[in-house]
């Protein structure tokens, strides 16, 4: 199946110079932030949903790095979220860590676990990896269920509400920017080549295993960060929050958004979070709809809704016909 591979910026007709790009991005992102605050800032319920949407963006984009860009099939993302969540929660509750270090530590622990799990299992073929990650996610859940110090099956409560939309937004933006930089670098191209044809990639001298582990570890780090943010938003962690369905949620987000599309993952994560809340009144039907959605999307558009399409300054500039620094401001979503 042909995928649209992003061409080099140098070959594009409308290329925006670096500094303008940076300022434009910053301007667009802060404009989006203040717009959101202006619209929803007065309502704590909306703000909470927006925080969760931002957290889901982190989860979906980081999973997309693993599944979409490198072609691995990981369905244990919730396990890493759980590690980040419990680590970060424990650090603030038991050791009095401040917010940001606890989040980073959550990410680092998830990353270490990603390395431990990834190094051996990534040697396996795609399907085995799927089942191994699934198994790993379940083990984490069972372990959390059995540690009484963090609440066990009762859940881990009393986590201070350090997080806010400001922080989740900031982390989401940072995640997206870092991952965009990664996938558009030569490392990112190496990952895509592994996705397209692993054997050919190896023949071209790409260290396939090393790239797989790297990507897996980066993905786990951000999943851990997302988990840390999540518990500080909800002020609670519960083993049930990190079951298979959580991993499947993220999978649905990237499938619907399109494997290997950052824009798609962001849009789908936001939409699905909103939809989940909007469908709260028919909650039992939600998963039924999800299942159908997944089947229908796969049957009709196996490449996902956005396919390989990305919103970018260059593309916007191309649409407007001339390179323009305003381009980014008009369409905030990067």
Partner 1 sequence: MVNGIQLGSIYALIALGYTMVYGIVRLINFAHGEIYMAGAYIGYFVAGYLGPFFLPTLVIPMLLTPVLALIIERFAYRPLRFAPRLAALSTALGVSIFLQNFVRQFIGADYRPFPQIMTPHTYNVGGVIINNITILVVGVAFTLMMVLQFIVRRTKVGKAMRAVSYDKDAARLMGIDLDYVISVTFVLGSTLAAAAGVLVGIAYPRIDPVMGLLPGMKAFIAAVLGGIGNIPGAMLGGLVMGMAEIMVVYLYSSKWRDAVAFAILIVVLLLRPQGLLGRQLSEKV
Residues at the site binding partner 1, with contacts judged by CB under 8 A: 1, 67, 71, 73, 75, 120-121, 123-124, 126-128, 130-132, 134-136, 138-139, 142-143, 145-146, 199, 244, 248, 251, 255, 259, 284-285, 287-288, 290-295, 298-299, 302
User: Which stretch of DSSP H or E encloses residue 30?
Assistant: helix 18-40
Smallest gap, in angstroms, from Cβ of residue 87 to partner 1? 19
Smallest gap, in angstroms, from Cβ of residue 297 to partner 1? 8
Alpha carbon separation from 206 to 2, 164, 237, 289 (Å, rounded): 21, 41, 40, 41
Nearer to partner 1, 205 or 284 (CB): 284
Selection from 113, 102, 105 nearest residue 80 by Cα: 113
Smallest gap, in angstroms, from Cβ of residue 121 to partner 1? 7
Nearer to partner 1, 110 or 311 (CB): 110
Smallest gap, in angstroms, from Cβ of residue 22 to partner 1? 35
Alpha helices in 185-207 (DSSP H): 186-196, 198-203
Nearer to partner 1, 79 or 89 (CB): 79
Residues 6+ apart with CB under 8 A from 189: none
DSSP annotation string for 11-25: G-SS---HHHHHHHH
Nearer to partner 1, 204 or 298 (CB): 298
Nearer to partner 1, 10 or 199 (CB): 199
> Which own/partner contact pairs does 173-177 have at CB distance under 8 Å and 24+ positions apart?
173/29, 175/57, 175/58, 175/61, 175/62, 175/222, 175/225, 176/57, 176/61, 176/262, 176/266, 176/334, 177/25
* CA–CA separation, 241 and 264 (whole Å): 24
Smallest gap, in angstroms, from Cβ of residue 332 to partner 1? 30
Nearer to partner 1, 8 or 196 (CB): 196
Looking up tokens 């800032």 gives 41
Nearer to partner 1, 45 or 281 (CB): 281
* CA–CA separation, 131 and 154 (whole Å): 28
* CA–CA separation, 161 and 231 (whole Å): 8
Smallest gap, in angstroms, from Cβ of residue 241 to partner 1? 16
Smallest gap, in angstroms, from Cβ of residue 239 to partner 1? 11
* CA–CA separation, 301 and 279 (whole Å): 24
């Amino acid at each position: 199946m042909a995928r649209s591979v992003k061409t080099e910026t140098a070959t594009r007709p409308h290329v925006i110079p670096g500094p303008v790009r940076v300022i434009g991005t910053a301007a667009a992102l802060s404009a989006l932030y203040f717009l959101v605050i202006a619209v929803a800032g007065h309502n704590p319920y909306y703000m909470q949903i927006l925080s969760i949407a931002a957290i889901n963006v982190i989860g979906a984009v980081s999973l997309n790095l693993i599944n979409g860009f490198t072609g691995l099939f990981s369905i244990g993302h919730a396990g890493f979220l759980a590690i980040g969540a419990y680590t970060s929660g424990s650090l603030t509750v038991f050791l009095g860590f401040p917010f940001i270090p606890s989040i980073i530590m959550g990410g680092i622990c998830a990353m270490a676990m990603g390395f431990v799990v990834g190094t051996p299992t990534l040697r396996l073929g795609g399907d085995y990896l799927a089942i191994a990650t699934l198994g790993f996610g379940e083990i984490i859940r069972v372990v959390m269920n059995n540690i009484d110090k963090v609440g066990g099956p009762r859940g881990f409560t009393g986590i201070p509400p350090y997080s806010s939309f400001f922080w989740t937004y900031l982390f989401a933006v940072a995640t997206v920017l870092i991952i965009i930089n990664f996938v558009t670098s030569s490392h990112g191209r190496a990952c895509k080549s592994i996705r397209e044809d692993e054997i050919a990639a190896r023949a071209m001298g790409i260290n396939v295993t090393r790239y797989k582990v790297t990507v897996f570890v980066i993905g786990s780090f951000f999943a851990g960060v997302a988990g840390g943010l999540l518990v500080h938003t909800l002020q609670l962690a519960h083993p049930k929050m990190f079951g298979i369905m959580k991993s499947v949620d993220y999978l649905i987000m990237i499938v619907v958004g399109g494997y290997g599309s950052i824009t798609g993952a962001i849009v789908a994560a936001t939409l699905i979070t909103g939809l989940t809340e909007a469908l709260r009144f028919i909650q039992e039907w939600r998963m039924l709809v999800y299942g159908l959605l997944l089947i229908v999307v796969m049957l009709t558009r196996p490449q996902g809704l956005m396919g390989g399409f990305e919103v970018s300054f260059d593309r916007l500039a191309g649409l407007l016909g001339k390179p323009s620094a305003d381009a980014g401001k008009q369409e905030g979503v990067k």
